[in-house]
Amino acid sequence: MQDKTTAMALDGLVVLDLSRILAGPTATQLLGDLGATVIKIENPRTGGDDTRGWGPPYAALADGDRGDLSAYFMSANRNKQSVAADLGTEEGRDLVTALAARADVVIENYKPGGLVKFGLDHETLLSRHPGLVYCSISGFGQQGPNRDKPGYDLMAQGYGGIMSLTGAPDGPPMKVGVGIADVMCGMYASVGILAALRHRDRTGEGQHIDLSLVDTQMSWLINEGTNFLTSGVPPQRRGNAHPNIVPYEVFEAWDGHVIVAVGNDAQFARFCDVFDAAHLATDPAYATNSARLANRDALIAILRPLVAARPVDWTVAQLESVKVPVGPINDVEQALNSDQAHARAMTVDIEAPETAAGHVRLLGNPLKLSRTPVQYRRPPPRFGADTDMVRDMLEQDGSTKGS
């Protein structure tokens, strides 16, 4: 565990988290890692965040019970307090309204308009607390013809175009292996919240942030999206090949698979030398990247047997020695147990006394800040674990009733 006395970038910031599943929790976990106090509201009628039941696997508890700490839930909910509150009751609404009065940030992922009946929508809370930063995440955003449709990661990947680019050229559209639309939406939410806080700190003025899974997914179509906007030609699935660079893909080797990522003509020449095919680098059909793109199929047909005749370790060692980008394809076990992952603290053990092991092992935060480092202060909470503490805090300052 880290030194918890070290200053953190978001010390003193209070975040009221009305979100669940992945996009919102990803954003609030990041804010919590950076020092914010995150109060997660969970509905006792449903047993809390939906993902508490998205297992196995679960972290085994010391009492032998399965418990509610699924691996999925733990992936996005450390550094948070869990408060059980039912917005369908006056008591629950009063509690959350009182917390909103103390918060710097509110983040929610209800359907657009879904919090109006509780008096917890952005218009109501911003009228009461003009300095509040209020972030809404939904499937399609607060406006538009699809405003009222539900949004899940898979649907966003389908609607936003990324599935049409993912998978084998002759196969069906394929989703990315993790909930990347949710995760990236959470990243954009974090950036938007920090930008809005910067504005609030300068002017005292809060604001509403409107984010959708589909909007954010479209935004990270990156070069493929801009390829279409520039050419008018919809891009197609290419499997592991790159739309603008050749050779830049996965090759089958003698004993496995290897990634080759040739980024310029000089690298291509060195690649050809390694495989005793220097003539390819001077052939006008392949000498430049533009030529290689135009003659992709013919070139790849030449290169595949050259790579297939060598083992992975030989290819990696030889290409690395001449500074041609190359690498293996690790499975998750190999990646997370690698020396590089260890050196970069990309897995962390967090004390969790209620678990059988006394700790949980989670993915680390990739941010390495020299002055205000990320800290792992709290394990993912049991459902409602902090309800009494938060109620006592509010009663002490007389704010158990809404403001």
Active-site amino acid positions: 182
Q: What one-character DSSP code corresponds to residue 258?
A: E
Inter-CA distances, 335 with 27, 210, 259, 329, 341, Å? 24, 35, 15, 9, 7
Q: Under a CB-based contact definition with an 8 Å cutoff, are residues 30 and 365 in contact?
A: yes
Give me the residue label for tokens 């699924």.
Answer: 70
Which DSSP string do the residues of 349-401 spell out, in sequence order? EEE-TTBSSSEEEEEPP----SSS-----SPPPPTTTTHHHHHHHHHHTT-SS
Measure the CA–CA gap between 151 and 155, rounded to whole angstroms.
6
Structure tokens at 129: 């607390």
Number of other residues whose CB lies within 10 A of the CB of residue 202: 8
- Cα separation, 383 vs 48, whole angstroms: 6
The Cα-based distances of 139 to 6, 114, 121, 175 in angstroms read: 38, 13, 17, 17
Residue with tokens 């990236």: 184
> Between β-strands 326-328 and 256-261, what pairing exists: parallel, antiparallel or unpaired?
antiparallel
Question: Residue 264 region, left (φ>0) first, then alpha (ψ -120 to 50), else beta?
Answer: beta
